[in-house]
């Protein structure tokens, strides 16, 4: 049951109607919890037990952390929470990867073991709900929040259906207080939420789903296409993954907003970034801030000197790459961004061209060159992120860099149109303002025309077969 399906629209309409009819606040929260589990069970019935198990463990650990003062005992409870969540994540997501890697490593020493690959079902959204649950116990351990005494509220926090399977990663400090009192959507909330949901649906069905078959075709056999087609393919994938993932985030945020709940924004026109650091302030914001607060800063952040800071950046992004999937392609993708962030930090501290900023023309040229370099790093990373194997990624990259003419040239009008549209939006619209919020501030006729335009795009240009969201696999 994906957001762009009629089944979800029907499900969400029932949730809104029943919730509005319930007069008891406690019954309302139990209903939302049940609806969230039903939503997840549309993907997998057995795996809902995993969410419940993880939630129960962290809820009781949080209660104990709130009562115990002994430092050693508190650290032991935190370790138990981390071991439980990371253990589940490691088993379901990385067991085969570690087994295969260990087999290759032993093979280098002449020890040949019979390869084993287990048919482990990856629960949808496990990376998201484990990170969300784990952050709660860390915040309670740090005494940044008080543990909730309501098991129901905590279960709902972990499993709330709009963000359950692909984020954004919601913090307990922002969501649990919203469950403390009954919230109802205002007229402004409904207008903003509806605009954001429709905006996300357009991104997903009109752009991402339409170009996905062409991108898949190019990446399936990079040796069959020339350099221009391969460049078009990676540009197409950059647009596809952005519109797919930010589209999901928009719809999740919009659904919550129409119920009166607030989630943080997850994307802010990332391809307009001037630097790689700026890119990560705009791309998957809930994950990048999570990695900063729960990994980079605890490692030491920038508190232990120049070299250690670079090492912390690299390690954080390396683990962030591994979070995305059990593959050396993802490890390289994370390492690439880690190196790029470290280099940018060093360059910013050095400032060899700082005096040139006094000249407007040179500053403009420098800024645009920085944008091009940033986009080049991002596109290089997308090749490894999307390729089916390491050999496919290297072949893909080699054929683009050598601009090979040996192969078929395929010019996709869908990719070209999507590329033109996304570039135009990034150039015209303000970089740090939300378009859905802009609609809500306009007059009724303008709002009506905006909604009608979005619906027109969905009906006339939306893909008939909506594919699962890319980040469901993470």
* Residues annotated catalytic, as ranges: 324
In whole angstroms, give the CA distance from residue 45 to residue 459. 32
- Checking 284-287 for CB contacts under 8 A at 24+ apart, the result is 284/167, 284/245, 285/168, 286/167, 286/168, 286/169, 286/170, 287/131, 287/167, 287/169, 287/320, 287/323
The set of residues, in sequence order, having a beta carbon less than 8 Å from that of 184 and lying 6+ positions away, is 260
Task: Give the rounded distance of the alpha carbon of 310 from its chain centre.
Answer: 24
Q: Give 185-244 as a DSSP string.
A: --HHHHHHHHHHHHHHHIIIIIIIHHHHHHHHHHHH-GGGB-HHHHHHHHHHHHHHHHHH
Based on the number of CB atoms within 10 Å of its own CB, is 156 exposed (0-12), middle (13-18) or buried (19 or more)? buried
Phi/psi zone of residue 264: left (φ > 0), alpha (ψ -120 to 50 degrees), beta? beta
| Under 8 Å between Cβ of 200 and 249 | yes
Closest CA to 195 of 462, 464, 442, 470: 442
Closest CA to 320 of 345, 346, 293, 302: 293
In whole angstroms, give the CA distance from residue 337 to residue 278. 12
Closest CA to 400 of 223, 243, 153: 223
* 333-339-340 Cα angle (round to 5): 90
- DSSP tally for the chain: helices H, then strands E: 20, 0
**Using only C-alpha atoms, what is the Rg of the chain?**
23
Q: How far is CA 355 from CA 3, 278, 311, in A?
A: 50, 21, 29
The set of residues, in sequence order, having a beta carbon less than 8 Å from that of 80 and lying 6+ positions away, is 57, 61
Q: How many CB atoms lie within 10 A of CB 416?
A: 14
In whole angstroms, give the CA distance from residue 326 to residue 93. 7
- Containing 286, the helix (H) or strand (E) segment is helix 285-291
């Amino acid at each position: 049951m994906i957001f762009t399906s009629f089944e979800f629209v029907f499900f969400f309409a029932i949730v809104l109607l029943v919730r509005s009819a319930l007069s008891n606040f406690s019954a309302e929260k139990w209903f939302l919890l049940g609806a969230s589990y039903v939503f997840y069970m549309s993907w997998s019935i057995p795996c809902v037990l995993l969410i419940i198990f993880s939630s129960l463990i962290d809820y009781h650990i949080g209660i104990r952390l709130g009562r115990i003062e002994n430092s050693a005992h508190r650290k032991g409870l935190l370790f138990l929470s981390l071991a439980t969540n990371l253990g589940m994540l490691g088993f379901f997501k990385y067991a085969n990867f570690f087994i295969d890697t260990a087999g290759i490593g032993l093979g280098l020493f002449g020890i040949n073991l019979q390869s084993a690959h287990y048919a482990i079902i990856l629960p949808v959204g496990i990376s998201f709900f484990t990170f969300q649950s784990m952050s709660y116990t860390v915040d309670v351990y740090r005494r940044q929040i008080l543990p909730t005494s309501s098991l129901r509220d905590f279960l709902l926090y972990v499993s709330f259906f709009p963000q359950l399977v692909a984020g954004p990663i919601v913090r307990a400090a922002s969501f649990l207080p919203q469950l403390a009192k009954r919230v109802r959507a205002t007229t402004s909330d409904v207008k903003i939420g509806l605009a954001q949901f429709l905006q996300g649906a357009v991104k997903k069905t009109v752009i991402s789903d339409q170009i996905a078959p062409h991108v898949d075709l190019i990446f399936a056999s990079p040796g069959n296409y020339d350099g221009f087609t391969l460049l078009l393919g990676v540009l197409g994938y950059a647009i596809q993954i952005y519109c797919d993932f930010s589209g999901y985030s928009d719809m999740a945020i919009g659904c919550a907003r129409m119920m009166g709940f607030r989630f943080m924004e997850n994307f802010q026109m990332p391809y307009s970034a001037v630097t790689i650091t700026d890119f990560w302030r705009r791309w998957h914001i809930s994950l990048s801030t999570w990695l900063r607060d729960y990994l980079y800063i605890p490692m030491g952040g920038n508190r232990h000197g120049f070299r250690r800071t670079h090492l912390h950046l690299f390690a954080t992004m390396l683990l962030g790459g591994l979070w995305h999937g059990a593959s050396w392609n993802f490890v390289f993708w994370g390492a690439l961004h880690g190196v790029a962030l470290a280099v940018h930090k060093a360059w910013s501290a050095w400032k060899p061209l700082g005096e040139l900023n006094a000249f407007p023309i040179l500053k403009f040229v420098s800024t645009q060159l920085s944008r091009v370099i940033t986009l080049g790093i991002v596109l290089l990373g997308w090749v490894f992120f999307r390729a089916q194997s390491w050999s496919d990624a290297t072949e893909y990259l080699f054929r683009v860099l050598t601009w090979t003419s040996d192969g078929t040239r395929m010019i996709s009008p869908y990719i070209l149109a999507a590329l033109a549209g996304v570039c135009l939006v990034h150039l015209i619209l303000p970089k740090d303002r939300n378009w859905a919020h802009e609609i809500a501030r306009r007059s009724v006729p303008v709002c009506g025309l905006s909604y009608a335009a979005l619906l027109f795009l969905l009906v006339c240009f939306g893909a008939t077969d909506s594919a699962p969201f890319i980040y469901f696999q993470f």
